Amino acid sequence: MKERKKIEVKDKLTQQQLLKVAVFDLSKNRTKPHKHNGYLELVFLSSTSGQHVVDGRKSDVKTPCILVIRKDNVHYWELTNPVKGFVLLVKDQFVNQSLDLEISRLVDQISRFDTIYLNADNTVESLCQILAVEENKTCQEGLFKAILAKALEYSAGSKVSRPTQQNIYVSFCRLLKEDARVVNHVAYYASKLNTSPQNLSAACKKNTNLTASEVLAGHIIKEAKQLLRYTSNSISQVAYELGFSDKSNFSKYFKRYTGITPTGFKKQES
């Protein structure tokens, strides 16, 4: 059996596709940890049970529900067949091209959750059925917006993943997610955002009560945990991947923010 040196990145959309809805594939009821190639995935489940894990956070699957998987998440699930539901995939470009700014706001809102638990109302399922065969872009936008709005009606008792992000802070987070290699210098990202490190830190503080350095550290630690948890890379390889000069510096940095060494974390997760 080959060891995985990288976290698998799946791409279920062609280059031209911006949105896709399909009936849940019963052969995909159990998956291995993976990321998605630049799209948001919403999985509406009307009948199944099991568990969904997003970045190490476990959620029980209680139908009907919607699983929310952002493009930066590493996730996998174990679901009991027969699984009944729909998988909705949408690229940022679909949202950004829309003249309806409410769609972008709703996407930001739903992205705060790992799971949204619904009631027995069949509205979301019906909307998914219609959207699966709809080809008109305007109609697609309207149906997608309706799915988001209807799902968010039930968000009060659902599993939250993170707070809403705004302004410079949003752009900072987007850079952290989209850059191929992380750079452990706030000034580097401030320069790319045409602002000062002080302004960037103020924006972070306003949105999260953390400095820009702490937000950056959080991202680095999250990436480190994903690589340590889901790949067979050595500590030195993970250190290199995250821009550290050597294993020793990375280990000290990791322990400073987590209270445990990378080696200890890897043993803890195995």
Identify the residue whose tokens are 């937000």. 215
pLDDT of residue 3: 54
Q: Could you tell me the two tokens for 12?
A: 């279920």
Sign of CA dihedral 169, 172, 173, 174: positive
Q: Taking a C-beta distance cutoff of 8 angstroms, is the pair 177, 71 a contact? A: yes
pLDDT of residue 171: 85
Strands (E), the chain: 8-10, 19-23, 34-36, 39-47, 49-54, 57-62, 65-69, 75-79, 84-91, 113-117, 159-160
CATH topology of domain 8-160: Jelly Rolls (2.60.120)
pLDDT tens series, the chain, 270 aa: 445 567 787 777 777 889 999 999 999 999 999 988 788 999 999 999 999 999 888 889 999 999 999 887 899 999 999 999 999 999 988 998 888 888 988 998 898 889 999 988 899 999 999 999 999 999 999 999 999 999 999 876 665 554 333 568 888 988 888 877 889 999 999 998 888 899 899 888 877 788 999 999 999 998 999 999 999 999 999 999 998 999 999 999 999 999 999 999 999 887
pLDDT of residue 207: 74
Identify the residue whose tokens are 């992205």. 111
pLDDT of residue 212: 94
d(CA 261, CA 115): 31
pLDDT of residue 1: 42
pTM of the model: 0.64
pLDDT of residue 145: 97
In the sheet that holds 8-10, the strands lie side by side as 8-10, 34-36, 75-79, 49-54, 57-62
d(CA 228, CA 52): 19
Of 124, 170, 178, 132, nearest in space to 150 by CA: 124
The class level of CATH for 167-269 reads: mainly alpha
- The pairing of strands 34-36 and 8-10 is parallel
Domain boundaries along the sequence of the chain: 8-160, 167-269
Radius of gyration from C-alpha coordinates of the chain: 20
d(CA 263, CA 39): 32
d(CA 221, CA 13): 29
Of 108, 110, 74, 71, nearest in space to 91 by CA: 71
